[in-house]
């Protein structure tokens, strides 16, 4: 099939490369000429494991190409996927749909023959109806249908998730569009990935409900971790104990510094606003948002308490800046309020991240960036493990101990080290929701 993908970011590029790998003919479009130039030169503008090889193979096979021109690929396509950003609107937390609306106008102007316009971007319920209205207004003669096909991939495991999804959700109210979408996903259907067909509004809401539920799980275990700290219980064991119950499940029960990233914060805020617009209050969602925001803002204070109260003039080493491992994405990373809080408490902050420093420099100033974890720890009074990159799980702790100051504090916000062992090595070790020793 001939597909056009509008927006070549984390979702658009991965989707485009995977669709091409299924055998479809794919053109990825982006407004950002620098991104398209890089891709044409064989450079991948984001960090996503395995994506460079997948793109190279499919470009070489002639199934995948890149352009800044929307009109040509859209005119040729049977399905056009909208994968542009839907960030939080400044001020009120609603999803900012300006990129979606602008791209739909461009797509509408170029439509030829029956075409399915598919929203892969995360958009509030009812956006599909608005897209229909925009296309009709721009091109009253167009033969088209609008489908919702929200994306559930996780950055860092995006290719695997796209090719082995738990489910594919397709919201269509039109039989021809349903047939096209069935054909697009036929290779995955053959692999037994379940396709869930729903109405368009339902599909739009499934995406937000999924993210809100996952954010709730994280926030729930984080609050239980706080209670563990007061009571001497161990949150990892609590999570294990409840997670073995199939009705609960073990995923997303890792206590930590609070969720961040390119999706959860903005999607939770947008869902709460949508509910308000429709005269319903989602109180649980509102509480999750408030509890998580407070938690992220409190992280620097947690480090200060671990250091005896004051950070004035102390050096704090931060390991990991991206919102999770295996991505360079810094959008809404919990490291941002942490570092800002540390600097506000007059700490000297040194930071290291395996791939995120380039992006981090755009959002975090006043930080010294180190070349590696040991250089980062050099002379530090406290070391904070912020992102659980694989390489931080197997640090040479003797070397870290030697590099740090006399009375070294480690604040492990991902619970990757053993409290007993850390204490035995001479660290003042603090983790999340676990007794200081075993």
Ligand X SMILES: NC(=O)c1ccc[n+]([C@@H]2O[C@H](COP(=O)([O-])OP(=O)(O)OC[C@H]3O[C@@H](n4cnc5c(N)ncnc54)[C@H](O)[C@@H]3O)[C@@H](O)[C@H]2O)c1
Interface residues with ligand X (CB under 6 A)? Answer: 6-12, 29-32, 35, 83-86, 99, 102-103, 106, 121-122, 151, 153, 155, 262-263
Q: In the 8-state DSSP scheme, what is residue 372?
A: S
Q: Which residues contact 53 (CB under 8 A, 6 or more apart)?
A: none
Question: 263 catalytic, yes or no?
Answer: yes
Q: Closest CB to ligand X among 315 and 359?
A: 359
Distance in Å, CB of 427 to ligand X, minimum: 34
Q: Closest CB to ligand X among 25 and 86?
A: 86
Distance in Å, CB of 46 to ligand X, minimum: 7
Distance in Å, CB of 151 to ligand X, minimum: 4
Strand order in the sheet with 409-412: 367-369, 348-352, 315-319, 382-385, 409-412, 428-430
Q: Closest CB to ligand X among 46 and 413?
A: 46
Strand order in the sheet with 25-29: 64-67, 25-29, 2-6, 79-82, 115-119, 144-148, 168-171, 195-198
Q: How far apart are CA 329 and CA 10, in angstroms?
A: 9
Rama region for 264: left / alpha / beta (φ>0; ψ in -120 to 50; rest): alpha
Q: Are 260 and 320 in contact (CB under 8 A)?
A: no
Q: Are 312 and 306 in contact (CB under 8 A)?
A: no
Distance in Å, CB of 126 to ligand X, minimum: 15
What's the angle, vertex CA 230, arms to CA 229 and CA 236, rounded to 5? 30
Q: How far apart are CA 320 and CA 256, in angstroms?
A: 13
Q: Closest CB to ligand X among 99 and 369?
A: 99
User: Nearest-CB residue to ligand X?
Assistant: 9
Q: Closest CB to ligand X among 83 and 203?
A: 83
What CA–CA distances, in Å, run from 252 to 168, 220, 241, 395? 21, 10, 14, 25
Cα dihedral 379/382/386/388 (nearest 10): 70
Q: Closest CB to ligand X among 150 and 257?
A: 150
Alpha helices in 172-314 (DSSP H): 175-184, 186-190, 200-231, 235-243, 264-277, 283-306
Distance in Å, CB of 290 to ligand X, minimum: 21
Q: How far apart are CA 222 and CA 227, in angstroms?
A: 9
Distance in Å, CB of 14 to ligand X, minimum: 8
Q: In the 8-state DSSP scheme, what is residue 391?
A: G
Distance in Å, CB of 243 to ligand X, minimum: 24
Q: Closest CB to ligand X among 35 and 63?
A: 35
Q: Closest CB to ligand X among 84 and 380?
A: 84
Backbone angles phi, psi at 250, to 5 degrees: -90, -15
What CA–CA distances, in Å, run from 166 to 11, 67, 152? 17, 31, 9
Distance in Å, CB of 396 to ligand X, minimum: 33
Q: How far apart are CA 94 and CA 86, in angstroms?
A: 9
**Options 18, 228, 263, 376, the catalytic residue:** 263
Active site amino acids? 263
């Amino acid at each position: 099939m001939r597909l056009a993908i509008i927006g070549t970011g984390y979702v658009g590029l991965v989707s485009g490369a995977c669709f091409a790998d299924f055998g479809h003919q794919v053109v990825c479009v982006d407004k950002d000429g620098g991104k398209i130039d890089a891709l044409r030169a064989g450079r991948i503008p984001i960090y996503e494991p395995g994506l460079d090889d997948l793109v190279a193979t499919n470009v070489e096979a002639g199934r995948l190409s890149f352009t800044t021109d929307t009109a040509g690929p859209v005119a040729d396509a049977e399905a056009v996927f909208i994968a542009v950003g839907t960030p939080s609107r400044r001020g009120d937390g609603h999803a900012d749909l300006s990129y979606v609306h602008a791209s739909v106008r461009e797509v509408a102007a170029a439509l030829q023959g029956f075409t399915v316009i598919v929203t892969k971007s995360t958009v509030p319920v009812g956006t599909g109806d608005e897209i229909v209205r925009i296309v009709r207004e721009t091109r009253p003669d167009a033969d088209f249908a609008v489908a919702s096909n929200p994306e559930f991939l996780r950055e860092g495991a995006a290719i695997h998730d796209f090719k082995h999804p738990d489910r594919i959700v397709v919201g269509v109210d039109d039989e021809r569009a349903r047939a096209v979408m069935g054909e697009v996903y036929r290779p995955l259907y053959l692999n037994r990935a379940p396709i869930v067909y729903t109405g368009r509004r339902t599909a739009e809401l499934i995406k937000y409900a999924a993210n809100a539920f996952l954010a709730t799980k994280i926030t729930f275990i984080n609050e239980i971790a706080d209670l563990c700290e007061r009571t001497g219980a161990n949150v990892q064991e609590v999570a294990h104990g409840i997670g073995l119950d199939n009705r609960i499940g073990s995923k997303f029960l890792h206590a930590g510094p609070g969720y961040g990233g390119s999706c959860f914060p903005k999607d939770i805020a947008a869902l709460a606003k949508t509910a308000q617009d429709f005269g319903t209050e989602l109180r649980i969602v509102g509480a999750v948002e408030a509890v998580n925001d407070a938690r992220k803002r409190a992280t620097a204070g947690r480090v200060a308490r671990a250091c005896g109260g004051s950070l004035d003039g102390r050096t704090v080493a931060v390991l990991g800046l991206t919102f999770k491992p295996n991505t360079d994405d810094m959008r809404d990373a919990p490291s941002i309020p942490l570092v800002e809080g540390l600097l506000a408490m007059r700490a000297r902050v040194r930071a290291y991240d395996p791939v995120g420093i380039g992006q981090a420099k755009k959002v975090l100033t006043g930080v010294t960036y180190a070349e590696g974890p040991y250089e980062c720890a050099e002379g530090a009074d406290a070391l904070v493990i912020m992102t659980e990159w694989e390489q931080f799980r197997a640090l040479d702790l003797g070397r870290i101990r030697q590099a740090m100051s006399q009375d070294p504090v480690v604040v492990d916000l991902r619970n990757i080290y053993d409290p007993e062992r850390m204490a035995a090595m001479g660290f003042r070790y603090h983790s999340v929701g676990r007794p200081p020793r075993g």
